[in-house]
Structure 1
């Protein structure tokens, strides 16, 4: 009987890991196909110059910098603020703060980037601030939902055992809220990768430059290449997020 139960509990984990293998394989195959096409396609001198591998790597590095810098700031602000809004008197302010965060995501992303650039200057910092405002909502909202969805009987049991409020938070509430919180972080990551393409409108670089170049110079191959690379980058980061979500999920919730 014990063996049957153990096998039953292990099966979902094995299935989830098997599913995680497919995504990187598909990404790698598409990337290899793109590299082969890039080296064999009949490109014009302008297309060949724009799709130079060295330039593509540089733009990818800029795109990753914008994404990762924005992600760090979103996590540093969103998670502590979400936790604070589930504590005592601060609960009343959660609706107003979520409404403000929702404005950042509801606003047109291009307009938000350009508006902040006019205020902060046409640089990567303005792009990062715009990306943070655009992607903080999923992290903030899922942190609040994850903590508030924890069974209050477990919280009261912890307090009844003499645990302090901080101990209950870090040993009971946050571990049980991890799956919901990670889902919000993963959503924010994908939003950031796609939205980082807009940084090119204010001179902050990134793979979006390929898209704007393709549109402005009527180069469909460059346009499609930029869109494909951004999609592959988003899928890669989503895959990393799924790995973290699977590993960090408490064992009893797998």
Structure 2
């Protein structure tokens, strides 16, 4: 319960911070630029969302199954190789990853998608492994005692109980990805980073905030939507256990 109260306090503080940013942006004239150039904003916003969506989708499709595989007894000995490989994506700065990949794939959105995908793997992979390994052994023993097969134990017990932690990793990865995608502009990947870096180059706070404000709100919006999704797909019993903990 204390954790829930702390989370509510943090959310309220973040709301006040966002409101302060909006007031500052209004005074800086960023809303004037948005109102006068809605087409540019929608176009770049669409590019930004496409970068985040494609890279995040591929990260989920690869990291979650991979995380499940390396928790199996047969492949457990390889988990350190996989996790350390994913660690590289978080250890190396995104700009450095972009530079390295650009030398092979060239400029463009495909390079940005690959770099963002690589950068998104670790939170999802780590949380998938941690979630499955955190499932109480007595639950698995009970499943075996009931005559459940290994596949049934995996899907009905392990993944079901690990789902909140897995979804938390996906949520974290996507929100981080929204901010990282702004760097795609530097290699011709498009996105809202176009406005941010153009504003910086021109020393125009209004243009810069016209890119930064939508990025902030997109991250908050996606975090909210994913939080709601988590409440829908995670069983009520597991949610009550988490709240009690």
Fold-level similarity (TM above 0.5): yes
Alpha carbons 1:114, 1:201 under 8 Å: kept? no
Alpha carbons 2:123, 2:172 under 8 Å: kept? yes
The worse-fitting range, judged by mean Cα deviation, of 169-178 and 48-57 is: 48-57
Equivalent residue number for residue 111 of structure 2: 126
Work out the CA distance in 2 between the residues paired with 1:51 and 1:105: 38
Task: Give the alignment partner of residue 217 of structure 2, picking from 228, 232, 237.
Answer: 232
Equivalent residue number for residue 69 of structure 1: 54
* TM-aligned CA distance change 1:82 to 1:59, over 3 Å: same
String of CA shifts for 1:61-113, please: whole Å, max 9, x gaps. 00000000011101100100000010012111111211110111110111111
Alpha carbons 1:50, 1:210 under 8 Å: kept? no
* TM-aligned CA distance change 1:39 to 1:147, over 3 Å: closer
Instruction: Give matches, 1:86-101, under 5 Å.
Output: 86-101=71-86
Instruction: Give matches, 1:1-254, under 5 Å.
Output: 41=32, 48=33, 52-254=37-239
String of CA shifts for 1:128-166, please: whole Å, max 9, x gaps. 110011111000000000001101111122122111100
Alpha carbons 2:31, 2:206 under 8 Å: kept? no
Alpha carbons 1:71, 1:192 under 8 Å: kept? yes
Work out the CA distance in 1 between the residues paired with 2:224 and 2:20: 15
Following superposition, the deviation at residue 114 of structure 1 comes to 2.2
Alpha carbons 1:50, 1:222 under 8 Å: kept? no
Work out the CA distance in 1 between the residues paired with 2:201 and 2:66: 42
Gaps of 5+ in 1: 1-10, 42-47
Work out the CA distance in 2 between the residues paired with 1:32 and 1:76: 36
Could you state the TM-score of these two structures normalised by the residue count of structure 2? 0.85
Following superposition, the deviation at residue 39 of structure 1 comes to 8.9
Q: Please say which structure displays the higher CA radius of gyration.
A: 1
Following superposition, the deviation at residue 223 of structure 1 comes to 1.3
* TM-aligned CA distance change 1:194 to 1:28, over 3 Å: closer
Work out the CA distance in 2 between the residues paired with 1:50 and 1:218: 20
Alpha carbons 1:51, 1:222 under 8 Å: kept? no
Following superposition, the deviation at residue 225 of structure 1 comes to 2.4
Alpha carbons 1:59, 1:205 under 8 Å: kept? yes
RMSD over aligned Cα, in angstroms? Answer: 3.0
Aligned residues: 235
